[in-house]
A and B are shown apart, each in its own frame.
Chain A
């Protein structure tokens, strides 16, 4: 079983719709959870971090964490063509000093 798994995608959504991305992780000791966005040919960019159960909103992005279910998600509201990218879920465990990444979900927003 992979440490971090994401819905495989690709995900195609119309402009203005909600894109929903899911991620599960295997290590119950994980405490820090991140979403990175990676445009084609570029490096990953941190867009959201979440540490406690519940929702965290930042602009059009909402991250949701459920540690009991070992599940973290990202919602992109009012999707824009500029949101077209690969979204990477990353998980960190205390004193591990590394990020474990999922394979990524590629999102395409259709104008």
Chain B
């Protein structure tokens, strides 16, 4: 059974640019979440989608957005990149959110 697939694995972007990250959940999982992980702040929740609807959003500026497609694949977008956006971005999927989430390998974003 394939796990959660995130692409790309690594990205280097310049301040002011925008970036789109992609996530394919485990087959059958309709709940997809995104998290940001940094050494200083740890793992922070960005947003969660279920059947193309955002059910919750974390405390991040509007530059961070996401969406989910009808096949449950999800993308997140960060516009006007700042140096502080450098982080590991993790996607996680779940069959039932209360059962826990399976994480993908992450996308390491470096903003220079």
Contacts and interface: CB of A to CB of B under 8 A. Distances in A.
Given A42-B105, A96-B56, A101 B43 contact: yes
B98 A46 contact: no
Report whether over half of chain B's contact residues are helix, strand or loop; otherwise say mixed.
strand
Nearest to B41: A103
A51 B31 CA distance: 20
Given A43-B103, A98-B58, A31 B43 contact: no
Interface in A86-105: 88, 90, 92, 94, 96-104
A98 B106 contact: no
Interface in A31-90: 31-32, 34, 36, 42-46, 49, 51, 88, 90
B63 interface: no
B43 A97 contact: no
Nearest to B40: A103
Interface of B: 31, 33, 35, 42-45, 48, 50, 55-56, 58, 88, 90, 92, 97-106
A49 B100 contact: yes
B103 A44 contact: yes
Interface residues of A, number: 24
A104 B33 contact: no
Interface of A: 31-32, 34, 36, 42-46, 49, 51, 88, 90, 92, 94, 96-104
Contacts of B104: 43
A100 B58 CA distance: 10
The 9 closest A-B pairs by CB, nearest first: A101-B43, A97-B48, A43-B103, A98-B45, A97-B55, A97-B56, A32-B98, A103-B42, A46-B100
